[in-house]
A and B are shown apart, each in its own frame.
Chain A
Amino acid sequence: MVDPILSIRDLHTEFVANEGIIRAVDGVSFDVFQGRTLGVVGESGCGKSVTARSILGIVEKPGRVTGGQILLRPETGGEAVDLLQLGPKAMRAIRGPEIALVFQEPMASFSQYYTIGNQIMEGIRLHLKLSARAARDRAIELLDMVGVPQPARRVDEYPFQLSGGLRQRVMIAMALACDPRVLIADEPTTALDVTTQAQILDLLRELQQKQGLALILITHDMGVIAEMAHDVAVMYLGRAVETGPVSEIFTAPKHPYTRALLRSIPTVMAKPRTRLPTIEGSIPHPSNRPAGCAYNPRCLELIDDLCRVQEPPETGMAGRRIRCFLHGGRP
């Protein structure tokens, strides 16, 4: 098997709040491969965005990574580097040329005071040491690559002059400016309309094929996952409860949460006016994490005196792992 570009091992990220310590990411592990898409899916509070920010070392205060490893394999081969051991300066050389991020809210993530060209060029000039002229040409080239019409004119426009779909394209251009090997897209289409979403997903797929990017796609939408991902990690309250190839996750889901989640998705194939199977209750706040398996209060298949008390370990084999006592790890 090919070595992964990026391996997350037992990542822990905590926030110190008034209510106590919130374990936003609580032992997440997964692998990301060149030319493949890992879909990270979960509902609010599952820690998917914090995981992305932890990888890039941009977790906001009072949060901090408290444990685990983020192993990046160098392009030239050789020993993997643990990003958590790098200093701020070395990390800056990682963000952009190695790993880049596409944010969810394109409106909130741009500065309103600079043209989009300026904002793309900032990264290029910092990392690639190009002249202003060359950087500008590169920016226009990037805009053209992500399908922004009339890039030579658009490069001098401000973010507010662009539609949501175009803004997201510019955001992707900016992320790709320094030729990263890993692209993390955090809910890249959530703020967009469906027809625009289809355009952006299509673009991401095309770019990945062309450039062999390793893509981490974070979303709450199982439909987007089905369409885009090769591998899937399903998260619940800070943990990956099930990981595996997309076909297996959708056709043979094992974890009760994954199964319930898949059943509760509305689809266009449904008979009109039909009730959906639901998951009882609601997602607990991460500060209020249930003892034992975090999903146990909502689980219909729980093993009474086990799941409420003990946390299930991650079991399974490489590429297909699960955290549930129904599928192994029973003491």
Chain B
Amino acid sequence: MSARSEGLEAPVLLEVKGLKKYFPIRKGLLRRVVGQVKAVDGVSFAIRKGETLALVGESGCGKTTVSRCILRAMAPSEGAINFAFEGRTVDLATLPRKRLRPLRRHMQMVFQDPYSSLNPRMVVGDTIGEPLLINGMTDRAERRRRVLELMELVGLPGAAINRFPHAFSGGQRQRIGIARALALNPALIVADEPVSALDVSVQAQILNLLLDLQDRLGLTVLFVAHDLSVVKHVSDRVAVMYVGRIVELAETEALYRRPLHPYTEALLSAAPTPVPGAVSQRIILERDIADPANPPPGCAFHPRCRYAEARCKVERPDMVEVEPGRQVACLRAGELVLRGITDMPHEAV
């Protein structure tokens, strides 16, 4: 039986609360702080064991910054990141670096670009085995056994153990990256756009691999992506981000069928579908994404929102639980009836 069968009642592995990350804008000779880029501005969510939560949004929305804060590749400005492991819970946001180190093996990252994220001078066996060595597996033969096991797990031929990354295709390199991330049996995998640099025919292979691995190993995954079609195939729940905040969070099917936030509606309608003639009713958003250094007052989405009212320009909406498991940050959430995938002409005309 799959490790995921516990379903959505599983215990929470990671809880992010009120996470903020501000970057100072410095100017002048004295490098005075003249402003703040609010890359992440109050983000809260929880991931259960065995679940995949997708964090979606367009460039600059802060999704990558959130993932980096969770891995403590950068220190958050504010907020808590509670990580449950070995029966206790620690706050990663405030933990000193030294106490963080033993925790790192429990959280691993799969990177976007398999071309630049592998050391070109290291053979595959060493790349995958490095985390094992660092974490005390000094016996060469034992390490080799584990590396071969990992290579088989991700579908790489064991015979390739002594080859360099350049000998592999993009898809195979991404498999190497995944094997390396899995080497230490982490509880949490953060995958930042793991398939966006791959060709379509290879993308499907890697998505399937991630689904298989999750079923077999009971992995918990934070899947950071911009492509709503890809996200649909892998995630249990989806959090949509816009200018540093989550604007909607719901179970995948529910969110796609009936979005509650106008931004989610626009994103869904903008996703190109491989059906000729399906564009007639597309919602085209005006203007560009707001600047996180200078976000508009009120709801950050209001300048592009076709449903905006006077109050949207002043009042900033908070995330509200509108029904069990569904949160949305929109002042008009209760009254708007928005179009989901079933209302859009995704079928051939």
Which residues of A approach B to under 8 Å, CB–CB? 43-44, 163-166, 193-199, 202, 220-227, 246-247, 250-251, 260-262, 264-279, 282-283
> Judging by beta carbons under 8 Å apart, are A265 and B200 in contact?
yes
Tell me whether A223 and B274 are in contact (CB under 8 A). Answer: yes
Min CB distance, A81 to chain B, in Å? 33
A to B contact number (C-beta, < 8 Å): 161
Chain A CB within 8 A of B318 CB = no
**Contact, CB under 8 Å: A199 / B256:** no
Contact present for B204 and A194 (CB under 8 Å): no
Question: Nearest B residue to A260 by beta-carbon distance?
Answer: B201
Pick the most buried of A195, A198, A246, A262: most chain B CB atoms within 10 A of its CB. Answer: A195
A sample of 8 cross-chain residue pairs with beta-carbon separation below 8 angstroms, ordered by A number, consists of: A43-B199, A194-B271, A198-B285, A222-B274, A268-B229, A270-B233, A272-B252, A283-B201
Report A201 CB to chain B, min CB distance, Å. Answer: 8
Q: Mark B104-116, 1 if CB is under 8 A from A, else 0.
A: 0000000000000
In this assembly, does B253 line the interface, its C-beta being within 8 Å of a C-beta of chain A?
yes
- A43–B202 Cα distance when bound, in Å, is 10
Asked whether, in the complex, the Cβ of B170 is within 8 Å of the Cβ of A282, the reply is yes
Q: How far is the CB of A21 from chain B (nearest CB, A)?
A: 21
Closest beta carbon of chain B to A240's beta carbon, Å: 17
| Cβ-defined contact, A199 with B341, below 8 A | no
A35 to B202, CA, bound (A): 34
Say whether B233 contacts A221, CB under 8 Å. Answer: no
Contact of B233 among A43, A44, A165, A266 (CB under 8 A): A266
The residue that B256 contacts in the complex, of A44, A220, A246, A268, with Cβ under 8 A, is A268
Q: A195–B236 contact, CB under 8 A?
A: no
Q: Taking each of B58, B199, B276, B284, which has the highest tally of chain A beta carbons within 10 Å of its own beta carbon?
A: B276
How far apart are A297's CB and chain B's nearest CB, in angstroms?
Answer: 13
Q: Are B288 and A268 in contact (CB under 8 A)?
A: no
Instruction: Tell me if B64 counts as interface (CB < 8 A to partner A).
Output: no
Q: Is the CB of B276 within 8 A of A246?
A: yes
**Which chain A residues lie closer than 8 Å to B34 at the CB level?**
none
Known contacts A166-B288, A246-B276, A266-B207; is-contact A193 B201 (Cβ 8 Å): no
Q: Nearest chain A CB to B279's CB is how many angstroms away?
A: 5
Which residues of B in the span 284-299 have a Cβ within 8 Å of any Cβ on A?
Answer: 284-285, 288-289
B201→A264 contact, CB < 8 A: yes
Within 8 Å CB of A272, what residues of B?
Answer: 232-233, 235-236, 252-253
Q: Kindly name the residue among A220, A265, A274, A279 whose own CB sees the greatest number of chain B CB atoms within 10 A.
A: A265
Q: Given A264-B204, A282-B202, are A195 and B267 also a contact pair (CB < 8 Å)? A: yes
Q: Which residues 272-287 of B sit at the A interface, judged by CB distance below 8 A?
A: 272-279, 282-285
For B199, list chain A residues within 8 Å (CB): 43-44, 220, 283
Q: Which residues of A contact B185 (CB under 8 A)?
A: none
Tell me which residues across on chain A come within 8 A of B202, comparing CB atoms: 282-283
Are A222 and B279 closer than 8 Å at their CB atoms? no
- How far, in angstroms, from A277 to B233 measured CA to CA in the complex? 12
B262 to chain A, nearest CB (A): 12
Interface centre among B208, B233, B267 (most CB of A within 10 A): B233
Measured CA separation A283–B205 after assembly (Å):
13
A246 to B276, CA, bound (A): 7
Residues of A within 8 A of B272 (CB): 194, 197, 221, 223-224, 226-227
* Chain B: interface residue total (CB-CB under 8 A): 54
Q: Which residue in A193, A262, A279 is a CB contact (below 8 Å) of B58?
A: A193
Q: Are B58 and A268 in contact (CB under 8 A)?
A: no
Q: Which residue of A lies closest to B197 (CB)?
A: A44
Once the chains are docked, how many angstroms separate the CA of A164 from the CA of B232?
26
The one of B226, B230, B236 that contacts A273, using a Cβ cutoff of 8 Å: B236
Of the candidates B169, B275, B285, which one forms a contact with A250 in the assembled complex, judged by CB atoms under 8 Å apart? B275
| CB-CB nearest 10 A-B residue pairs | A223-B272, A193-B58, A282-B169, A43-B199, A276-B204, A279-B201, A272-B252, A264-B204, A266-B229, A198-B270
Report the nearest A residue to B214, measured CB to CB.
A273
Instruction: Give Cα A126 to B43, complex, Å.
Output: 53
Are B270 and A268 in touch, CB under 8 angstroms? Answer: no
Whether a CB of chain A sits under 8 angstroms from the CB of B172 is yes
On chain B, the residues within 8 Å of A268 by CB distance are 228-229, 232, 256, 268, 271, 273, 341, 346
- Residue of B with least CB distance to A197: B270
Residues of A within 8 A of B278 (CB): 226-227
B268 to chain A, nearest CB (A): 6
Complex contacts, B211 vs chain A, CB 8 Å? 273, 275
Contact call B267/A279, Cβ cutoff below 8 A: no
Contact with A along B153-184 (1 / 0, CB 8 A): 00000000000000001111000000000000
Which residues of chain B have C-beta atoms less than 8 A from A278's C-beta?
201, 204-205, 208
**B91 lies within 8 A of chain A by Cβ:** no
Q: Which listed residue, A195, A251, A261, touches B270 by the CB 8 Å rule? A: A195
Taking CB atoms, residues of chain B closer than 8 Å to A196 are 58, 288
- Whether A266 pairs with B230 at a CB distance below 8 angstroms is yes
- Asked if A43 and B271 make an inter-chain contact with CB atoms under 8 angstroms apart, the answer reads no
Partner of A223, one of B207, B266, B271: B271
Extra contacts, 13 of them, besides A166-B288, A194-B226 (Cβ < 8 A), are A193-B59, A193-B289, A196-B288, A225-B274, A226-B274, A226-B277, A260-B201, A268-B232, A269-B346, A272-B252, A272-B253, A276-B204, A278-B201
Residue B348 interfacial (CB < 8 Å) = yes
Contact B200 A198 (CB under 8 A): no
CA distance A260 to B171 in the complex (A): 17
Q: How far is the CA of A193 from the CA of B284 in the complex (A)?
A: 12
Which A residue's beta carbon lies closest to that of B202? A282
Check: B44 CB closer than 8 A to any chain A CB.
no
B203 interface residue, CB < 8 Å from A? yes
Residues B194-229 near A (CB distance < 8 A): 199-205, 207-208, 211-212, 226-229
